[in-house]
Structure 1
Amino acid sequence: MKHNRASIGIKNVALVSAISGALLLSTPVMAAKEVTVGYQGMFNPMKYAIDQKHFEEATGYTIKWRKFDSGAKAITAMAAGAVDMTVAGSSPIASAASNGIDMELVWVMENIADAEALVVRNGSGITSPADLKGKTLGVPFVSTTHFHMLFALEQFGLTEKDVKLINMQPGAIVAAWQRGDIDGAFIWDPALGSIKQEGQVLITSKQLSAWGKPTFDGLIASKSFASKNSDFMTDFLTVIAKADEEYRVNQEGFSADHPIAVSVAKLTGGEVSTVPEAMSLYEFPDVSTQLSCQWLGCQAEGGAVKALEATSKFLLQEKKISGLQPDYSVFVNPSYAAKIAL
């Protein structure tokens, strides 16, 4: 039997195409790695790295960014599995640890120092701590400022019954301040800078930390996510470390026209003119300080672990949590930061 060569060629091409199509359908397509990361409105160099997409460039991951008004909301999202990593204050992180949420502190974003303060409104009649009695004060509950508000009252010889504490997010505090609905507030920037314009600082977190109750903002990650994406974790932290270093080397002449300041204002909604002064109130630990006993190092004797323990005990005393963990060091993991090479 004679065969038409052209016909055979066409049949072979059709067969190859069919096999190739079948292989494509049977072979799973490699999905791009994706991560959801939460952040808050604190003024820090990380905002520059977010704005410039440095994290995506360094890790190769697709990153979904979620902005939270408070650490309490960020922790709720972490508990629900809605974020893989998020920034939160030490008070909500302590609450999360005490409640057994699957997370670990991997980086101290900033030592809060003077960047959070209790401000009293001009005309409120408050000139000393004793004048707080009977006054209405705004504060985001289960935040670092809430923790320091309660500690401040204790140091002033007052209790929660002596004042009226209202759970308010930063934006609501500014609005209530402008209406004259509250006499004072314990908050961070950009809300802090706004209310300072018509108020006086009564005390800052730096003084309260010196009295034995330090606070900080930290980056936490789902333990399961971090363990499965260890290279990503180190690359991500390296980006933060580089952004912080960029700020530190330019801190002396840091101005509102610096790219970091512009990005911070853009992502937080604050006025760029207020960024330099606001950022100067924070302390951004470098890698060696991160790994020291002051923060992530030294296991149970480390500063971060001790801060989480002390905060948790205070939250329990105030009935904000139902119990304590036997070991808070399991919620602090310096291993990813330890691999950073700048």
Structure 2
Amino acid sequence: MAFPLTRLRRLRRTGALRGLVRETQLDAGDFVLPLFVTHGSDVRAPIDAMPGVARLSIDHAVAEAGEAAALGIPAVMLFGIPDHKDEEGSGAWDDEGVVQLAIRAIKDAHPDLLVIPDLCLCEYTSHGHCGVVRSDGYVDNDASLELLARTAVSQARAGADVIAPSDMMDGRVGALRAALDEAGFAEIPILAYSAKFASAYYGPFREAADSTPAFGDRRSYQLDPANGDEAMREVAADVEEGADMLMVKPALPYLDVIRRVKETHNLPLVAYNVSGEYAMVKAAAAAGYIDERATVLETLTAFRRAGADVVITYHAKDAARWLQEST
């Protein structure tokens, strides 16, 4: 490495040289676009904290999914906003629920597009927690597994391509795998939200999905942001229970966890570029502090460089267009 025999700048001299030796590639095929789906027709309700994102009725969700597919984005992830909530979150496993109806409509219109419904109870429960709440206010892990399993089977019946549990209950991957297999859906893969942290970056999402807990918080079941080793134990448990894909959520503050998971487990790895990360970029860009396009593409590249194979991002459509323009 003695100077001047080694000059690392030689391969940075032109765009063509930089492209030739680029280590990490970013492509629209790496993205999943999240959609918030609600009842009604011709509904497009903007989400104030997430500029450019809206709650969509199923007709608009179908159109949005079509736009994503046309841009080369291979998958959408669905979050439902039901018209009724109760203590158990029964709308989550209703075969005529908003997500189930959206799955069918999108698959009918775009059969080659992958549809991945988020599997959780928080959007459907009157208390906003991700499982059954006991009389003492604690979320009952094992009682919640039965309801999550019902939801997984209902989503599979509707035509879901992948089941993605985000609840962080212990043992839920094994419970869902058993329920899906028993119901005849052994071929449906499970994308486990394996390292999901109790993060401040979820704030805008809770407005979008109307899922803020009515009391307390989710720290008794989501991961402590300080704990990387515990995250690895969570991931290992999901692998042992039969997860087909793994996820780290959020992405940007947890690049170290993404790298550790990828180096330890030989499974496809997903990074969730969450609502707070999206909102910060949008706010800074609107204020003129940053270049939105350059910042988004750099951030998405960082997730891939850290080890993510797939990125769930609200920037997906914009990023896909920008990548097309640069080719």
Q: Normalization by structure 1: what TM-score? A: 0.29
More relative contact order, 1 or 2 (CA 8 Å, 6+ apart): 1
Q: Normalization by structure 2: what TM-score? A: 0.30
- The answer to which structure has the higher helix fraction is 1
